[in-house]
Chain A
Amino acid sequence: MSKVIGAATDTEAVIGLEAHVELLTQSKMFCGCRNAFGAPPNTLVCPVCLGLPGSLPVANARAVEFLCKAGTALGCTIADYSKFDRKNYFYPDMPKNYQISQYDMPLTTGGEVTLPSGKSVRLTRIHLEEDTGKNVHAGESIARSAYTLVDYNRAGVPLMEIVSEPEISSAAEAEEYLAELKAVMSYIGVSDVKMHEGSLRCDANVSIRPVGSHELGTKVEIKNLNSFRSVGRAIDHEIERMRACLRDGERIVQETRGWDESSGTTHSMRSKELAHDYRYFPDPDLVPLELDRALLSRWRDELPELPAAKRARYVSDFGLSAYDAGVLTGERSDAEFFEAVAAASGNPKQAANWMMGDVRKVLDRAGLTLAEAKGTPAQVGSLIAMVAAGTISGKAAKEVIEPVIVEGRDPGDVVAQRGLAQTSDTGAVAAFVDQAVTANADSVASYKAGKEKAFEFLVGQVMKLSRGKANVEMVRGLLKERLG
């Protein structure tokens, strides 16, 4: 390796992500309090999640099930034996000043996230823990505030931490990874994965190294990433900052840095030397988890088809492009809608075009999601079938789709009411053709002289005579025949 670290072009980024996903259980991780977002502060609390003296945690079986399902969906190995540990540190959003988490025996190890690009990012582990409360500082930080208010509604909400191997190589890929993770979690229904509500949060470990090197560089952990966009921006910024460091002959320090959304920069939070000693030890208040294999296989059977499998099937069975398959599988309910349209129309390709094209346009115009739309897949499918059968023109169908999607009206009714049905009666269409040929002798002559444009003019004349209702394919056929 003759290259020297220093020039930006010589280095590549190595990124690992730690995603925190709040689980969509009815109750919190270790008590019976309701697990919900947006309630008035400190209304979803009890002695356990407030850490009152003498209170004890009891693990939420549903949270364990959800994590195991997530692990199974991502191809992880589920542990036969797992346990909870205490992570000890003082912070006022943590009622007990320790967090119940999992240290050396996480519920799952291994697994991978398959990106739409085809690349797989391997996972280190997924573990279960409790969320902390939420601090609201009177000033800009806890140290520079006259007071801090704490809302413990979130304290004790079940949280799974999904740790990836350092195998992500760019900001764009990191965003792709998160999007895929979000899709998988929402497919299996274990989380609502909303970054803006904090049910999906992310820390990024970033380092750079000479291209071709297999050693990892000094890593920096970036915290406070609250949206897909900030994940991407922060990583890009951090890679540039590191490259600049090296260019300037500075050393990269192992540290935790915070992302500042408004300035678009990261700032040092604490160095490795100041890192916490969390003094992990097994939580004596909880018993170890031993998972029943039969239960695990039942949970496996309950999993739906996952985005990666759907994408592959759309490409192989429906002949769609990888890109289209990716777009259509983003949300499980949208994908299921599309599949129902494909089945009802008997034409998956057309169904895909409609779903990504006109249906999308109508939804955007109306400000609706597909789930909120009144139209059913059967209605959309029958509209597509009507076009294929020549009952209406493609152009007319574009007019019909709006009341179908927005109001849930039957496409046949809309076509009838608006008189949009095509005439496919050969006799009637032939009469219009005759009429047009007779009335436009010049154009007929031009066509016969080799001017193709004249043919299109004649088609237009026939359509005009039929007031747009003639089946245009039939018009072309008959006109060609007529002009011989």
Chain B
Amino acid sequence: MNTGHEIRDAIARHEMTALEAAEMALAAIAATEPRLQAYLQLMPERALARAREIDAAIARGQDVGLLAGVPVAVKDLFCTQGVRTTAGSKILANFVPPYSATVVRRLEAQGAIIVGKTNMDEFAMGSSCENSAFKATHNPWSIEDVPGGSSGGSAATVGARCVPIAFGTDTGGSIREPASFCGIVGVKPTYGRVSRYGIVAFASSLDQAGPMTVDVRDSADALEAIAGYDPMDSTSANVDVPHYAGRLREDLKGVRIGIVSEFDESIAADKAMHALYQRAYEDLRALGAELVTVSLPHAKYGLATYYLIAPAEASSNLARYDGARYGLRVDGPDVFSMFDATRAAGFGPEVKRRVILGTYALSSGYYDAYYVRAQKVRTLMKKDFDEAFERCDVIACPAVSCPPFQLGAKSQDPVAMYLMDYFTIPMSLAGIPAMSVPAGYVDELPVGLQLVAPAFEEGRMLGVAHAYEQATRHAWARTPMVYAGEGDAA
């Protein structure tokens, strides 16, 4: 499978049709899905019909958009009109939304062909995709390992090169960590850059949708396709969307790249990981960047802060799943028993854990000590980044603390799982853009470099990522194991 821009350009030059591209994607999915388990639902008829429409439009000479004919997948957190949307939860197992998310509408308007809905941790709560109520997704590079989460299905299907572009959401690292685990590019835009309308909410002040792609160029186009103000989302920013592909760089002359001293210390214990990131920083320097050391003194409070704010918002956002209007209903002797029984049966253990945590954090008498204080730390964290960006243009740092781990290895240890987001949470709390770009392999497994930019400077961040990607070409250095047969990495 080629990249999205290659497919689009080939279709535009009449070298292939959108139908052929869709058929290729569906064939690749059919070949890998038994082992990957990346999808909760495939939409072959709808995809092929849409591809034929695109071909017809091209034949008429119509402008068909930035992603015309490109097969894409979306996380099952995006509402798709008439197509089941489960958020990875039993409680929404039968929910068919009467409307589509703004992201989905924009993708369709740009000619993208949605082939399916990808697996995820229930309500986006998790870092391994194992919290899905339906199934575990496997890592295309190492089939017994997790793909990361919560956007694990999207990461796995792109990592396996089934589709060039998929969409995920990132609340504390749910795009970046699985992107790192699956050897792909994953972008969490600035909070407010992409509309949240129609994305099943986890933590409203943190949730942000973004692209997960094979290469940086596709992320640039895919972000341009979905970004921009939406009157349906009060928190979406009315800031112009640049043509990101025009911001891609070939070198890094004159770019100051900040290396976070605290993160360097955190990763130092793991020699292989530390070496990989040191190598990445040197590669950036070799491209002409000036490396400067920056400090994020409050980053160490990120996890604690995040696990107050996100569960607090989630406890309220998830209150609506009560069986009264849609989704699962478990009857009881009265309406309140019905609520209890429905929620007891419909939510998985991690969701319940966070709802309880968040309910507690918002309770009278604890609110000031927990929620209010967490918001204050969040402000300090924003200040940390503001100060760091006075000294550099883009920050480079680890995306993860380890390569993908085995299925089941951490699923009984919530705190170990929470720690997976250690390097990604501070940017989420600060609301600034961050991405993971392939940085090489540790134990034959992919690892991503995290790049971070000030608010609404996705173009700058993608520019640096592109120069680094083109110089290192890690994503093309190996073939995902899923194509080579089990236990035999190519």
Taking CB as reference atom, which chain A residue is nearest B200? A53
Stretch at the interface among B140-148, B210-218, B356-364, B416-424: B356-364
Bound complex: CA A263 to CA B200 (Å): 47
A142 near B312 with CB under 8 A, answer no
Kindly identify which residue among A96, A277, A284 contacts B363, using a CB–CB cutoff of 8 Å: A277
B197 near A56 with CB under 8 A, answer yes
Chain B 259-315 interface residues, beta-carbon cutoff 8 Å to A: 312-313, 315
Taking CB as reference atom, which chain A residue is nearest B95? A53
Bound complex: CA A286 to CA B324 (Å): 25
Q: Which residues of B contact A427 (CB under 8 A)?
A: none
| Contact A56:B316 (CB < 8 A) given known A143-B334, A287-B234 | no
Chain A nearest CB: distance from B132 CB in Å?
16
Q: Decide yes or no whether B326 CB sits under 8 A from chain A.
A: yes
Chain B 172-200 interface residues, beta-carbon cutoff 8 Å to A: 196-200
B362 near A279 with CB under 8 A, answer yes
Taking CB as reference atom, which chain B residue is nearest A147? B335
Q: Decide yes or no whether A88 CB sits under 8 A from chain B.
A: yes
Taking CB as reference atom, which chain A residue is nearest B123? A53
Bound complex: CA A300 to CA B245 (Å): 50
Q: Which residues of B contact A58 (CB under 8 A)?
A: 231-234
| Contact A281:B312 (CB < 8 A) given known A53-B87, A90-B319 | yes
Q: Decide yes or no whether B476 CB sits under 8 A from chain A.
A: no
Kindly identify which residue among B85, B231, B232, B316 contacts A53, using a CB–CB cutoff of 8 Å: B85
Q: Decide yes or no whether A484 CB sits under 8 A from chain B.
A: no
Taking CB as reference atom, which chain B residue is nearest A31? B232
Taking CB as reference atom, which chain A residue is nearest B372? A281
Q: Which residues of A contact B322 (CB under 8 A)?
A: 90, 92, 97
Q: Which residues of A contact B98 (CB under 8 A)?
A: 47, 52
Q: Decide yes or no whether A50 CB sits under 8 A from chain B.
A: yes
Taking CB as reference atom, which chain A residue is nearest B86? A53
A285 near B204 with CB under 8 A, answer yes
Q: Which residues of A contact B334 (CB under 8 A)?
A: 142-143
A53 near B362 with CB under 8 A, answer no
Bound complex: CA A95 to CA B324 (Å): 9
Q: Decide yes or no whether B242 CB sits under 8 A from chain A.
A: no
A56 near B196 with CB under 8 A, answer yes
Kindly identify which residue among B101, B201, B324, B367 contacts A281, using a CB–CB cutoff of 8 Å: B367
Q: Which residues of B contact A286 (CB under 8 A)?
A: 234-235
Bound complex: CA A86 to CA B101 (Å): 23
Q: Decide yes or no whether A57 CB sits under 8 A from chain B.
A: yes
Kindly identify which residue among B95, B232, B364 contacts A56, using a CB–CB cutoff of 8 Å: B232
A92 near B335 with CB under 8 A, answer yes
Encode A72-114 as 1/0 by CB contact (under 8 A) with B: 0000000000000010101010011110000000000000000
Encode A294-315 as 1/0 by CB contact (under 8 A) with B: 0000000000000000000000
Taking CB as reference atom, which chain B residue is nearest A281? B362
Bound complex: CA A286 to CA B359 (Å): 20
Q: Which residues of B contact A277 (CB under 8 A)?
A: 363-364
A52 near B97 with CB under 8 A, answer yes
Kindly identify which residue among A86, A88, A92, A284 contacts B205, using a CB–CB cutoff of 8 Å: A284
Kindly identify which residue among B201, B205, B231, B316 contacts A54, using a CB–CB cutoff of 8 Å: B201
Interchain Cβ contacts within 8 Å, total number: 102
Q: Which residues of A contact B87 (CB under 8 A)?
A: 53
Encode A270-284 as 1/0 by CB contact (under 8 A) with B: 000000010111011
Taking CB as reference atom, which chain A residue is nearest B321? A53
Q: Which residues of A contact B353 (CB under 8 A)?
A: none
Q: Decide yes or no whether B328 CB sits under 8 A from chain A.
A: no
Q: Decide yes or no whether A55 CB sits under 8 A from chain B.
A: yes
Name the residue among B92, B198, B232, B320 with the largest chain A CB count within 10 angstroms.
Answer: B320
Q: Which residues of B contact A86 (CB under 8 A)?
A: 316
Chain A nearest CB: distance from B90 CB in Å?
14
Q: How large is the interface on A (under 10, 10 to 19, 20 to 34, 35 or more residues)?
A: 20 to 34
Q: Which residues of A contact B320 (CB under 8 A)?
A: 51, 53, 95-97
Q: Which residues of A contact B205 (CB under 8 A)?
A: 284
Q: Which residues of A contact B197 (CB under 8 A)?
A: 54-56
Bound complex: CA A119 to CA B231 (Å): 46
A284 near B204 with CB under 8 A, answer yes
Q: Decide yes or no whether B371 CB sits under 8 A from chain A.
A: yes
Chain A nearest CB: distance from B430 CB in Å?
15
Q: Decide yes or no whether A148 CB sits under 8 A from chain B.
A: yes
Encode B327-358 as 1/0 by CB contact (under 8 A) with A: 00000001110010000000000000000000
Q: Which residues of B contact A281 (CB under 8 A)?
A: 312-313, 316, 362, 367, 371
Chain A nearest CB: distance from B120 CB in Å?
14
Q: Which residues of A contact B79 (CB under 8 A)?
A: 52-54
Bound complex: CA A475 to CA B312 (Å): 89
Q: Which residues of A contact B362 (CB under 8 A)?
A: 88, 279-281
Q: Which residues of B contact A150 (CB under 8 A)?
A: 324
B336 near A90 with CB under 8 A, answer yes
Q: Which residues of B contact A285 (CB under 8 A)?
A: 201, 204, 234-235
Bound complex: CA A143 to CA B198 (Å): 34
Q: Decide yes or no whether A59 CB sits under 8 A from chain B.
A: yes
Encode A325-363 as 1/0 by CB contact (under 8 A) with B: 000000000000000000000000000000000000000
Chain A nearest CB: distance from B341 CB in Å?
13
| Contact A98:B335 (CB < 8 A) given known A284-B204, A285-B204 | no
Q: Which residues of A contact B371 (CB under 8 A)?
A: 281
Bound complex: CA A47 to CA B232 (Å): 11
Taking CB as reference atom, which chain A residue is nearest B101? A54
Bound complex: CA A461 to CA B200 (Å): 92
| Contact A54:B234 (CB < 8 A) given known A90-B322, A90-B339 | no
Given A59-B234, A97-B322, A279-B316, 8 more pairs with CB closer than 8 A: A47-B99, A54-B78, A58-B232, A90-B339, A96-B319, A142-B334, A277-B363, A280-B362
Q: Which residues of A contact B (CB under 8 A)?
A: 47, 50-59, 86, 88, 90, 92, 95-98, 142-143, 148, 150, 277, 279-281, 283-287
Q: Provide a sorted-by-A list of 11 A–B residue pairs whose CB atoms are within 8 angstroms.
A: A52-B99, A52-B326, A53-B200, A54-B78, A56-B235, A58-B232, A88-B315, A98-B319, A148-B335, A279-B362, A281-B362
Q: Which residues of B contact A (CB under 8 A)?
A: 78-79, 85, 87, 92, 95, 97-99, 101, 196-201, 203-205, 231-235, 312-313, 315-316, 319-320, 322, 324-326, 334-336, 339, 359, 362-364, 367, 371
Closest 7 CB pairs of A and B: A97-B319, A284-B205, A284-B204, A279-B362, A54-B198, A53-B200, A54-B79
